Amino acid sequence: MDIDLSPEDLAFREEVRTFLTENAHKPSEDYMKWRLNWFKLAREKGGWDVPKWPVEFGGPGWSPTQHYIWEQETAEHSIPWDLPFGLGMLAPVLMNYGSKEQQERFLPDIRDRKVNWCQGYSEPGAGSDLANLKTKAELSADGSHYVVNGTKIWTTLAHIADWIFCLTRTSDTGKKQEGITFLLFPMKQEGIEVKPIITLGGAHSVNMVHFTDVKVPVENRVGEEHQGWTYAKGLLQHERTGLAGISRSLVALETLKEQAATVKRGNGTLMDDPAFRAKVADLEVDLMAVEFTELRSLASASSGSDPGPESSILKLKGTEIQQRIQKLTVEAGGLYSAAWGAAQPGHRFARGGMSGYLSSRAYTIYGGASEVQKDVVAKNVLGIKKSSK
């Protein structure tokens, strides 16, 4: 997609490209030292280390177009890995609903990448139906702390997390969305057991987490008791926008076309095959449409608004597109995509094709399943109400 860039935006793009090129990781460098130094240099640029944070919390205050440029350029260049849980999910909740003390306590370490966070949302029997969660937090008689008991599942990177932001039930009366409280507590303490779950692609990224009489000081409660659902909804909107991965898909699709052009097919290549080329073209059209939606979302955010229902559109279509790219990568690799091991024959890109495809099956589940996103879009975008029958 081409958008008209002002001279100022063109200058910004060049500035971003120069920064990313000059500070790219070199093979001889220690990765972890480079990573921390990269964020330090980005911070010195004026909040580039926290591009989505508002100015009052140290962010750069970019326009929607500048955010768009940043996403495009960082998708094409080598930047340090970063975890979204603290930076992009918990931080906005603390900024909007946390106390001044909580902001001063947690946000600096989040920004400095000193603390790894995980998200305690989904439970056995309460995945997409998140409001049906059962993990209980009971307030002590003296009102000084909560005692948490229950189980969370699909908890990404819980095995390396230092802290968890967790939805707990503090009341069983009224609507199920009521009586939910948002708590923060350390993962390395008595009463917390983390059990690994190996995914279809063979990776250990998610876990089951059991809580047994875990004590949480009342000052670690974000906002008001029983109001956690309100805070959770805002967090999910930020999460879903990030999961769409539009810029990454743009780069991945171009990579796919380059890979397919190396696969011989008759007197030409796979990219000369009309059927395969039609699938790629169909993907490009859908990706362009989602990209425009992302720009509208950025424009809304720049005016001070929280992500709205368009975040569900982005998550729904963005993750489907990621899956389609993975599927076409496997198709381009052909029989070689099914091979595993270091001595795999055939095209080099096919080696990770099947693993990526299997892992991508979860894209349309985590962060709210596609069926949930469709319900949100139907209700809040199309205005379709549930039948009273």
Q: Any idea which of 57-66, 176-185, 352-361 has the lowest mean pLDDT?
A: 352-361
Strand partners, 221: 183
Give the long-range contacts of residues 47-50, CB within 8 A, separation 24 or more.
48/19, 49/111, 50/87, 50/91, 50/111
What's the pLDDT at 306?
Answer: 60
Provide the 10 A C-beta neighbour count for residue 57: 15
Supply the DSSP symbol for 132.
G
End-to-end alpha carbon distance in the chain = 45
pLDDT score of 341 more than 60:
no
Does 98 or 125 have the greater pLDDT score?
A: 98
What are the pLDDT digits (tens) for 157-185? 999 999 999 999 999 988 888 899 999 99
**Mean pLDDT score, 357-376:** 82
How many residues in the chain? 389
Q: Is this prediction's pTM over 0.75?
A: yes
CA–CA separation, 313 and 225 (whole Å): 31
Give the angle 289-293-294 at the CA atoms, nearest 5°. 115
Under 8 Å between Cβ of 212 and 135: no
Does 68 or 197 have the greater pLDDT score?
A: 197
Six-digit token string for 344: 């795999």
| Angle of helix 228-243 versus helix 310-333 axis, rounded to 10 | 40
CA–CA separation, 334 and 7 (whole Å): 46
What's the pLDDT at 1?
Answer: 46
Query: If you compute the radius of gyration of the chain from its CA atoms, what whole number of angstroms results?
Result: 22
What's the pLDDT at 290?
Answer: 87
Which domains are present in the chain? 7-82 (no CATH), 117-226 (2.40.110.10), 244-380 (1.20.140.10)
Supply the DSSP symbol for 126.
B
| Residue type present at position 65 | T
What are the pLDDT digits (tens) for 248-297? 888 899 999 999 999 999 899 999 999 999 999 999 999 988 888 877 77
Give the angle 305-309-313 at the CA atoms, nearest 5°. 125
Does 342 or 253 have the greater pLDDT score?
A: 253
Six-digit token string for 355: 């693993």
Under 8 Å between Cβ of 131 and 229: yes
CA–CA separation, 84 and 199 (whole Å): 20
Bridge-based pairing of strands 268-269 and 192-198 is unpaired
Most confident listed range (54-63, 231-240, 291-300): 54-63
CA 112 → CA 91, 93, 106, 346, distances in Å? 12, 18, 10, 43
Supply the DSSP symbol for 352.
G
| Average pLDDT score, the chain | 88
Nearest to 48 by CA among 64, 33, 32, 67: 67
For 218, half-sphere exposure in the C-beta direction (CA atoms, 13 angstrom radius) is 11
Residues above pLDDT 90, as percent of the chain: 58
Q: Any idea which of 109-123, 234-248, 264-278 has the lowest mean pLDDT?
A: 234-248
What's the pLDDT at 101?
Answer: 97
**Mean pLDDT score, 211-224:** 97
CA–CA separation, 161 and 184 (whole Å): 12
Quick one: pLDDT band at residue 302, thresholds 50, 70, 90?
low
CA–CA separation, 36 and 338 (whole Å): 38
**Mean pLDDT score, 319-347:** 84
Burial 300-320 (b: 16+ CB within 10 A, else e): bbeeeeebbbbbbbbbbbbbb
Under 8 Å between Cβ of 8 and 16: no
Does 153 or 239 have the greater pLDDT score?
A: 153
What are the pLDDT digits (tens) for 67-94? 889 988 998 888 899 988 999 899 999 9
Does 245 or 186 have the greater pLDDT score?
A: 186
Quick one: pLDDT band at residue 378, thresholds 50, 70, 90?
confident
